């Protein structure tokens, strides 16, 4: 019996620590991966934050190391799935517009197929094929 919450999202795009690409704990690499930045920029922001707000930044970093889960080895099945879920998380309106267009195209193709199957030409071709048997 599946006991997952009905509010759970199938979106695997979450904030993780990435110790494989990280320097200390992988927090900056995980944040960079989540937002689509280069890890060097996030590390630079962290160093600048240390100069101005050392205690809160250190506390936040330690908490992030303790709280954030480690990134699983295979979060997405393929690059297309990764691009889709990143788009859902970052620009949901654009993703929705893209899906709407794909469904419109699909509906148009199905309509064309229905029109062909319902046409007299299709009936005539079917009758001719049945004569050959």
**For residue range 72-123, what is the model confidence (pLDDT) as tens digits?**
887 777 888 878 877 777 777 777 788 888 899 999 999 999 998 888 888 8
Q: Are residues 42 and 98 in the same domain?
A: no
Tally of CB atoms within 10 A around 85: 19
What is the structure's pLDDT at 1?
45
**What phi and psi values does residue 101 have, to the nearest 5 degrees?**
-65, -40
Note whether residue 1 is domain-resident.
no
Q: Are residues 70 and 104 in the same domain?
A: no
The boundaries of the domain holding residue 76 are: 9-90
The pLDDT of 7-34, averaged and rounded, is 81
> Which of the four pLDDT bands, split at 50, 70 and 90, describes residue 7?
low
Q: Are residues 34 and 67 in the same domain?
A: yes
Q: Are residues 63 and 116 in the same domain?
A: no
Number of domains the chain is built from? 2
The pLDDT of 52-64, averaged and rounded, is 92
Distance CA 82, CA 31 (A): 16
Helix, strand, coil percentages for the chain (3-state, nearest 5): 65, 0, 35
The vertex-116 CA angle with 110 and 121, nearest 5°, equals 175
> Which of the four pLDDT bands, split at 50, 70 and 90, describes residue 131?
confident
Which token pair is 72? Answer: 């699983």
Note whether residue 4 is domain-resident.
no
Note whether residue 2 is domain-resident.
no
């Amino acid at each position: 019996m599946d006991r997952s919450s009905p509010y759970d999202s199938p979106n695997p795009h979450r904030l993780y620590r990435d110790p494989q690409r990280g320097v200390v704990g992988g927090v900056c690499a995980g944040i960079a991966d989540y937002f689509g930045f280069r890890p060097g920029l996030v590390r630079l922001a962290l160093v600048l934050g240390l100069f101005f707000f050392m205690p809160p930044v250190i506390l936040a970093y330690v908490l992030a190391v303790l709280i954030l889960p480690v990134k699983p080895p295979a979060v997405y099945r393929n690059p297309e799935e990764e691009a889709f879920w990143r788009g859902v998380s970052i620009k949901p309106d654009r993703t929705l517009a893209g899906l709407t267009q794909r469904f419109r195209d699909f509906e148009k193709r199905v309509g064309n197929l229905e029109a062909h199957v319902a046409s007299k030409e299709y009936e005539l071709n079917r009758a001719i094929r049945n004569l050959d048997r």
